[in-house]
Amino acid sequence: MLGNIMAGLGALMNFNTLLFLFIGTLVGLIIGALPGLTGNMAIALMVPVTFTMDPVTALAFLTSIYCSSIFGGSISAILLGIPGTISSFATTLDGYPMAKKGQAGTALGVSTLSSVFGGLFSAVVLMCLTVVLAEFALTFGPAEYFAVAVLGLSCIASIGGKSLTKGLLSGFIGLFFACVGMDPQTGVKRYTFGSVNLLGGITMVAALIGLFGVISVLKSAEKGSSGKDTEAMPEVDNVWIGWKMCKKLLPTWLRGSIIGTIVGIIPGAGTNVATFLAYDVEKKISKDPDSFGQGDPKGVAAPESANNGVTGGSMVPLLALGVPGNATSALFLGALMLQGLSVGPVLFTDHADIAYAIFLAFFIANLLMWPLGLFLLRYMKTILSVPESLLGGIILAFCVTGVYSISSNPFDVAVVIFFGLLGYVFYKFDIPTAPLIVCLVLGSMAESNLRQALVASKGSLNFMWTRPITLVVLLISVVSFFVPIISKAMKAARKRRSPDVVTAGDIAESSTEEMDDD
């Protein structure tokens, strides 16, 4: 293996390749930072360009875009509260509150280091365990996918905010939007209102940007011109967070990276579930779960290490089995094939130098992200000094243009506007939007796989307990769903100093209590 690493290093170490690694990292960072633009788009545009490069340079270039664009997404999530992609959505939950508290620098610093850590971790896993873990990817059938989707959905109970019922309502409305479109199992149209544009379902990024981008502008509109000068610009602190903080965050990074890498390996589950899970786990084991959502650095560290953990994980099934784990690795497959390379075990036997060069490119790209990220962020955080009133229109322009560019369909712009309005209504009724996003993303995965599992088991539900992975994941989901509810109820009960034993059945009442409290 050491020989292979040296061979891979040799293949990488030339000026041209390193230059493209550098350019790729920079391009990925900037594209990732723009709302609505994804690294996927950049990679797709670059794949035909890489045709004329040598294989190592081509793959190193794409790898660096992939890694840094995932990290770049956290920049707009933190500074503007607008997640550019679904994978940086969880980062918004704590990153934006941190920025509002004047800790934008810290938040960005945490997200940089978390991303680098997650990326490096997954690069190591990729290098050492690809062949072993590939078999793991194949154990996932519809039943297992269903369980993973349920696990992702179970976190809506904890990210729902103050009122459980409203959080759940938001989630269920998200599930409704996930139903819109052609049913994947029968082709039946559901809730499409006869529109061709809705046949393929609601564009998730458009909904996301409407709920986070447009709403931020509507909120500042609501304040009116009167309040504009009273709000002082938050002081922007340093982006370097110090070793003490690093030490404190290390366990979070480890957990996030492990979750990201493992979930990344499961083909199709991808980045989205990983970030939700990492955030949720961190919140649950935290001594102070209430600080999440208010600007806890761990709430940034967990999803950011997870989504960069996914980068390496998603390459495992691609390199070992020739099956792309997500949309981005599908593009890598295309790039590899254009170079005349076959993936799978053959790659390791026939082109070990290229395989290891890819691993090392992951390594170097993540390392490059660190200085580049910190350097760029120094300037990017000045965006906060632009007055909110001026920024509003620019944000809207970026959101609308970015979303339009996803599939050049003006209808997606209408989706942005609709979800902006919906988000505003939610805001007025104190309904959290986070559960809606989670359910919109995972709803059809849950439904489609449940129905596939039912077909495979000839209509019996026994797959839920006869398949070990499914059973374990479903049990974890149940625990994950009820723990925050019960602990919340117990807390409320303690507050009342009532000797009553509180069970999950009392939730309704305890939440009423809580509403009285505020």
Partner 1 sequence: MTVTHKKDMGLGVAAIAFGAWMFAEAMQLKSGPDFWPKVVAAGIILLGALIFVMGLMGLRKAPAAKGPAKEKAKPQYIHVAAVMVVLVAYYFAFQTIGYTIPTFLMIGATAYILGYRNWKVLLPTSLLTSIALYLVFTKLFGIRFPGAFF
Partner 2 sequence: MKQFKRLLAVLLAVSMIFALAACNSGKDDDQSKTPDSSQDGTSGDKNNDSQAPAWPDGKTVTIVVPFKVGGNVDLCCRIIADELGKVLDTNVVVENKEGGGAIIGQTYALSQAPDGYTILAQTSSFVTNILSGDTEFGMEDSIAIGQYCFDPEIVVVSADSGITTIEQFMEKAKSETLTNSTPGFSTSHHIASLILADAHGLNFDYLHTDGSAEQTVQLAGGHAQCGLTTYGGAATLIEQGKIVPLAICAAERSATLPDVPTMAESGYDFVYGAWRGFGVPAGTPDEVVQILSDALKTVMETDSVVKAFEDSGFPVAYLSAADFQQMMNDDYENMSKVYHLLEQ
**C-alpha distances out from residue 349 to 124, 353, 440, Å:** 20, 9, 42
Single-letter code of the amino acid located at 337: M
DSSP H or E stretch at residue 182 = strand 181-182
Q: Are 438 and 155 in contact, with CB atoms under 8 Å apart?
A: yes
Please calculate the CA angle 274-109-67 and round it to the nearest 5 degrees.
45
φ/ψ of 217, rounded to 5, equals: -70, -40
Burial of 513 (0-12, 13-18, 19+ CB in 10 A): middle
Q: Which is nearer to partner 1, 176 or 348 (CB)?
A: 176
Q: Name residues whose C-beta falls within 8 Å of residue 181's C-beta, 6 or more positions apart in sequence.
A: 189, 190, 191, 192, 198, 199, 200, 201, 202
346 binds, among partner 2, partner 1, none (CB under 5 to 8 A by kind): partner 2
Q: Which is nearer to partner 2, 288 or 350 (CB)?
A: 350
Q: Which stretch binds partner 2 (CB under 8 A): 159-167, 336-344, 365-373, 493-501?
A: 336-344
CB of 217 to partner 1, least distance (A): 6
Options 72, 95, 174, 324; binder of partner 2; rule CB under 8 A: 324
Q: Which stretch binds partner 2 (CB under 8 A): 90-98, 273-281, 286-294, 447-455?
A: 447-455
Q: Are 321 and 344 in contact, with CB atoms under 8 Å apart?
A: yes
Distance CA 66, CA 448 (A): 28
Interface contacts to partner 1, rule CB under 8 A: 37, 41, 45, 165-166, 168-169, 172-173, 175-176, 179, 183, 185-186, 188, 190-191, 214, 217-218, 220-228, 387-390, 392-394, 396-398, 400-401, 404-405, 408, 410, 413-414, 417, 420-421, 424, 429-431, 447, 450-451, 508, 511-512, 515-516
Contact between 268 and partner 2 by CB under 8 A: the answer reads yes
Options 408, 500, 505, 518; binder of partner 2; rule CB under 8 A: 408
Q: Are 426 and 418 in contact, with CB atoms under 8 Å apart?
A: no
CB of 139 to partner 2, least distance (A): 6
Distance CA 32, CA 82 (A): 12
Bridge partner list, 181: 190
Q: Return the closest-CA partner of residue 87 out of 105, 102, 75.
A: 75
CB of 424 to partner 1, least distance (A): 7
Q: Which of residues 450-469 bind partner 2 (CB under 8 A)?
A: 452, 455-456, 458
CB of 447 to partner 1, least distance (A): 4
- Cα dihedral sign, 419-32-158-309: positive
Q: How many CB atoms lie within 10 A of CB 466?
A: 12
Contact between 200 and partner 2 by CB under 8 A: the answer reads yes
Q: Return the closest-CA partner of residue 128 out of 363, 351, 306.
A: 363
Q: Which is nearer to partner 1, 374 or 417 (CB)?
A: 417
Q: Which stretch binds partner 2 (CB under 8 A): 159-167, 245-253, 254-262, 319-327?
A: 319-327
* HEC-encoded secondary structure of 408-445: CCHHHHHHHHHHHHHHHHHHHCCCCCHHHHHHHHHHHH
Contact between 252 and partner 2 by CB under 8 A: the answer reads no
CB of 430 to partner 2, least distance (A): 34
Contact between 83 and partner 2 by CB under 8 A: the answer reads no
334 binds, among partner 1, partner 2, none (CB under 5 to 8 A by kind): partner 2
Binding mask 350-389 for partner 2 (x = CB under 8 A): -----------------------------x--xx-xx---
Interacting residues toward partner 2 by CB under 8 A: 23, 27, 30, 40-41, 43-45, 47-49, 51-52, 137-142, 182-187, 196-200, 203, 267-268, 317, 321-325, 327, 330-331, 334, 337-346, 379, 382-383, 385-386, 407-409, 411, 448, 452, 455-456, 458
